[in-house]
Chains A and B, each alone.
Chain A
Amino acid sequence: MKKITFLLSLRRHYRIKLLGAFLLSVGIIAASYFIGNSDIPMPDEMKVLRTFDSFMKISGQYEDNVPDSILLVNVCYDKQLVDYSVHDIPVGQFVITDREKLLQFLTAAYEADNYRYIMMDVFFEHNIESPQDSALFATISKMNRIVIANHTDSYLSDSMLKQKSAYADYTVTWKVTKFSHFQFMREGDEPTMPLRIYEDLTGKTIKKWGPFYFSDGHLCKNAITLNLPIRVAEDYSLETPNILEKKYEFLGADILAHDSIYPISMQLQDKIIIIGDFMTDVHDTYLGPQPGSLICINAYHALQQGDHYFHWGWATVQFIIYFIIGYFLMSRLTFARMLPNVYLRMLFFIFSVPTILLIVALIAYVTTGYVYNMYIPTFLYWLYQFLMNMYLKSKNRIR
């Protein structure tokens, strides 16, 4: 009789642990989804991306890559000076992107109308005016398949630009000061430039439903840890010792200057055109400084690849791993204790929970390019252990 009672109590004991591990695992996946959808980057995202990138480089899988469908247009050497005022008092002159050249280029593009899309990462800020503004803004507003940059904390120069604009922003924190996390819809349901391109080119979008996001009828994420496969480390790639292929073209010196020999319409044929300043508009990423426009096009690339969809397969794998780790934690077991051999035990001490998660994340990254968050599970396991230790201490004190 005593034996049966012991077995029943043992079963109940196991049941609690299994239920606890299950709830903890579901909680981690849910927390990763909801917190991950915010604009705030987690502290480990940059580190994880850097580790993965180093691994890819060492394994020889690193390369500069700009797909043929993309034409990068650098405006870093196409500048003009305009008068500038602060509180309506002239203070001098300000350097802006040459709007005359932009107008010339967009007029040619409008006439050709053979491009796939134009993403112009140039901000037309309120209070900065040039003589070409009215013609330039009128051209932009009548063009199809174009998006220009807007920011959540600034104003556009002309209200007619609003319908052609989308946000080109990301958030940093006191802890994470570099770019690693991209949110597709900001300020509620306002699209960013990558999402606008995705909407216009595929007809799909991201919709919010309560705390969940859906795209094309599938559960999806509104923000991701952004991998940057489209990257430009150098101006040229060396094809042979004497031939250098240009990674991007200069607006004035390459595209406009050779219009008579190599017409702009030919250069734009079926291309997604990215116009930006590749030299001064750079942001710290896991690859080092990268142009803001490239971050945007990588975010569009991620949407196109379906990286924003909730991966049920990987969620299941994650759930199993979290469940096993959770069960071990609740049973106060460690992987090392299960091994009889002292050397194997020492080896397994190295494999702490964050290391196991890192290895799994690395496998996910190498096989699918999917970067999943490890900060939230690690933090929640730590929190569980901390609360459990507190509880046990207080229990011992009462005894």
Chain B
Amino acid sequence: MKLLTILLFAFCNILIVRADDYKVLYLNSNDILIDGKKAQVGATFNDKSIITWAKNQERQAIKAVNTKTNKMCVFVSQSMEKNSLTAYEILTANKHLSTHDAYQEGQDISIPIKLRKQFEEDYELLDTLVIDTKVVLPSSYSLIATYEYGDARISKTVKTANGQIIIDRKLFSIDGKALQPRDVLINFDLYNKENGMYTFIKGDVKLMVIPEKAIPSAE
């Protein structure tokens, strides 16, 4: 029994030694919970603590210092991916020659890059088209679709929610009047409301709009 107690004590000590403790230095939201309690500057937590991010708020972060390593770190609400380079990416580099590069200091460039990869195919619009991008847009961003209809160039905001882009027939409706396009080439841009900047995402995405009248009745 004595031996078991010693072993248990030693195991607990190992766990304590291994756990990293953090001290909160800064919060960008007042609604973040750590272990069920409201997070506050100066509070401490460890790497086993459960952080509950506030709903309906994008890009929440906690700046904290690891009291063991004395290194500052940032806990973020949005998961990020580690970029591992392939041999091709190591040996080559992509350079921009165009002026259509609206990169602003501080802008999260991973969003346009990730979104750009989503528009590789042709699409067909029957009822509602849902493109699952897994890229959650911050509230300050909106996705703009631009297409030509006759002589007019039409730009409209596309619905986005929970990492999905939702395209429906409202995209082809002006002042309540439905347009009747067939094959449309759409350009997508990301609009940042904070600085009024547009970032080009993808051009000439082919969308075939199936006419409503052609849909055979289910009856």
Instruction: Point out residues on A near B: beta carbons under 8 Å.
Output: 54, 57-58, 68, 236, 238-239, 241-246, 249, 254, 257-258, 261-262, 266-267, 269
Contact = CB atoms under 8 A, between A and B. Distances in A.
A243 B73 contact: yes
Contact of B70 (A57, A242, A257, A269): A269
Contacts of A58: 87, 90-91
B154 interface: no
Contacts of B74: 236, 243-244, 246
Contacts of B23: 261-262
Contact of B76 (A54, A68, A244): A244
B41 A266 contact: no
Interface in B48-79: 51, 63, 65-66, 69-77, 79
B90 A54 contact: yes
Given A261-B41, A262-B65, A245 B90 contact: no
A297 B4 CA distance: 51
A262 B21 CA distance: 13
Given A58-B90, A261-B41, A262-B65, A242 B76 contact: yes
Range for the number of chain B residues in contact with chain A: 20 to 34
A266 B79 contact: no
Contacts of B85: 57
Interface string B25-55: 1100000000000000110000000010000
A143 B106 CA distance: 36
B75 A242 contact: yes
A246 B41 contact: no
B73 A244 contact: yes
Given A57-B90, A58-B90, A261-B41, A245 B80 contact: no
B153 interface: no
Contacts of B75: 242-244
Contacts of B81: 238, 241
Name, among A58, A243, A266, A267, the residue most crowded by chain B CB atoms within 10 Å (CB to CB): A243
Contacts of A269: 70
Nearest to A267: B70
The 10 closest A-B pairs by CB, nearest first: A241-B79, A246-B72, A245-B73, A57-B90, A244-B74, A258-B25, A238-B82, A261-B42, A262-B65, A58-B87
Given A68-B69, A244-B75, A254-B63, 9 more contacts: A241-B81, A243-B76, A245-B73, A246-B71, A249-B72, A254-B25, A262-B25, A262-B65, A267-B70
Contacts of A262: 23, 25, 65
Contacts of A267: 70
Nearest to A58: B87
Contacts, number: 58
B219 to A, nearest CB: 50
Contacts of B87: 58
B26 A258 contact: yes
Interface of B: 23, 25-26, 41-42, 51, 63, 65-66, 69-77, 79-82, 85, 87, 90-91
26 contacts: A57-B85, A58-B87, A58-B91, A238-B81, A241-B80, A242-B51, A242-B76, A242-B80, A243-B73, A243-B75, A244-B73, A244-B74, A244-B76, A244-B80, A245-B73, A246-B72, A246-B73, A246-B74, A254-B25, A258-B25, A261-B23, A261-B25, A261-B41, A262-B23, A267-B70, A269-B70
Contacts of B91: 54, 58
A258 B64 CA distance: 10
A254 B72 contact: yes
Contacts of A249: 72
Contacts of B72: 245-246, 249, 254
Contacts of B25: 254, 258, 261-262
B121 to A, nearest CB: 28
Nearest to B74: A244
A242 B42 CA distance: 20
B113 to A, nearest CB: 15
A58 to B, nearest CB: 5
A257 B41 CA distance: 12
B94 to A, nearest CB: 14
A241 B75 CA distance: 9
Contacts of B42: 261
Contacts of A238: 80-82
Nearest to B89: A57
Contacts of A236: 74
A266 B26 CA distance: 18
Nearest to A57: B90
A377 to B, nearest CB: 27
Contacts of A239: 73
Nearest to B66: A245
B108 to A, nearest CB: 12
A71 B180 CA distance: 63
A335 B25 CA distance: 66
A50 to B, nearest CB: 11
A241 B74 CA distance: 11
A241 B23 CA distance: 20
Contacts of A68: 69, 71
A68 B72 CA distance: 12
Nearest to A55: B90
A249 B80 CA distance: 21
B192 to A, nearest CB: 20
A245 B80 CA distance: 13
Nearest to A239: B73
A258 to B, nearest CB: 5
A317 to B, nearest CB: 29
